[in-house]
Amino acid sequence: MAANETRMLLLGAVAMFQPVNGYQIRRELSSWRVDEWANLKPGSIYHGLTRLAEQEFLLRHDVVDGTRPVAVYEITGAGREELDRLLVGALEEYVAQGNVGFSVAFGMLPLLSRDQVLASLTRRRVSIERAVAELAAGAEAKDQAPPHARRGLLLWMDLAVAELGWLREVIEDVKAGRLRFQMGEDWGWTPAAADPGLQMNLDREKYRALLGR
């Protein structure tokens, strides 16, 4: 997994659930199955949190939870700026050969404003429209690529066309208010009792109290 995508996942998870400890981040990201589609392993999570704290993108607090010492993280102003940069970049950049960065950013849309989401998704739509045209031209240029290579271009083009249709629907849903995602909005959805986010919310209030928030 690219370093930017790992950084985006960790900064975004802390921003969503702060103050939060490393185990909670690991448990939450495991529920997203990041080990399957993002190849992010547990050891990388703890190492990444430590590194981000060293870079002053995260603020580490050492607190005592009952009798147990716990490292709790919050995002700093610099971390939030870095996260916003990564999210916007991943939403807007279209890469025909892989969408892991976009998948990470799309899962964290609640951290951005509605206007920013619309602007970034619109730019992505324009990029995909341009990519479809270029891929179609490449697939038709029979004298410039062997048949199997043109078939590969057709696959990328079909995938791009499918994403383009999906993206246009998402943009319309955001514009119409059918897709509500900002933090604090009523999403019209209640998580299951086993959802790890419910326990994280309880722990977050406990950590806030320990930190005098």
Confidence of residue 212 (pLDDT cuts 50, 70, 90): confident
Residues 6+ apart with CB under 8 A from 171: 118, 121, 122, 125
Query: Cβ–Cβ contacts within 10 Å for residue 26, how many?
Result: 20
- Residue with the bigger pLDDT between 67 and 82: it is 82
Most confident of the following: 117-121, 142-146, 159-163, 185-189: 117-121
* Buried/exposed 52-65: b ≥16 CB within 10 Å, e otherwise: bbeeebbbeeeeee
Query: E strands along 44-184, which residues?
Result: 58-65, 68-75
> What pLDDT does 120 receive?
96
Q: Is the pLDDT of residue 80 over 70?
A: yes
Q: What is the pLDDT of residue 110?
A: 87
Residue 94 pLDDT level (bands cut at 50, 70, 90): confident
Q: Is the pLDDT of residue 211 over 90?
A: no
Residue 96 burial (CB count, 10 A): 17
Q: What is the pLDDT of residue 127?
A: 92
What does the mean pLDDT of the chain come to? 85
- Is pLDDT of 95 > 60? yes
Question: Which residue would you say has higher pLDDT here, 203 or 126?
Answer: 126
Q: What is the dihedral of CA 66, 57, 12, 122, to 10 degrees?
A: 160
Interatomic CA distance for residues 4 and 107, integer angstroms: 15
